[in-house]
């Protein structure tokens, strides 16, 4: 049986594509939760789910509750380098990770004064550094949220 390719919502608002799978993925698919993911893995995964929540939460200051209660009902993690047909927005974090998407054609443009983050609004594609606090500071998360807000990400 091949390893699972995703964790989270069947029709996510946002998919974060990652090059590696967490430990305990089979059990997490049965009962997805950020707390269980972090408990079965390292602090590295806590950072990933926290950044996903900070960006995906409809209310910026509510990201902790969103992470703990709604994260995997509204978002998903994908581990294969193919964009999901069921996702509203796609987030690829990291240059090495982006290189795995061999047939991905996009027209992502850097955010003003933030060349490390790009958006292709037509393909609903967000390109950022790898989701780690050292590379995605709170200031950068705020800029990403503003750009996604301008594209209507938080409207529904």
pLDDT surpasses 60 at 2: no
pLDDT surpasses 80 at 156: no
The answer to whether 77 touches 16, Cβ cutoff 8 Å, is: yes
> What are 24-75's pLDDT values in tens digits?
999 999 999 999 999 999 899 999 999 999 999 999 999 999 999 999 999 9
Task: Enumerate the domain spans of the chain.
Answer: 6-150
pLDDT for the residue numbered 1: 47
């Amino acid at each position: 049986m091949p390893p699972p390719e995703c964790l989270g919502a069947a029709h996510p608002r946002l998919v974060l594509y990652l090059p590696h799978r967490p430990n305990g993925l089979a059990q997490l698919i049965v009962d997805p939760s950020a707390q269980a993911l972090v408990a079965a893995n390292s602090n590295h995964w806590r950072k990933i789910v926290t950044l996903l929540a900070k960006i995906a939460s409809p209310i910026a200051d509510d990201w902790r509750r969103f992470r703990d209660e709604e994260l995997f009902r509204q978002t998903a993690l994908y581990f294969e380098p193919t964009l999901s047909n069921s996702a509203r927005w796609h987030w690829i974090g990291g240059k090495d990770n982006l290189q795995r998407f061999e047939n991905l054609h996009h027209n992502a443009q850097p955010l003003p004064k933030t060349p490390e983050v790009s958006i292709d609004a037509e393909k609903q594609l967000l390109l950022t550094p790898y989701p780690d606090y050292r590379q995605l500071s709170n200031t950068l998360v705020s800029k990403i949220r503003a750009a996604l807000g301008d594209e209507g990400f938080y409207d529904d």
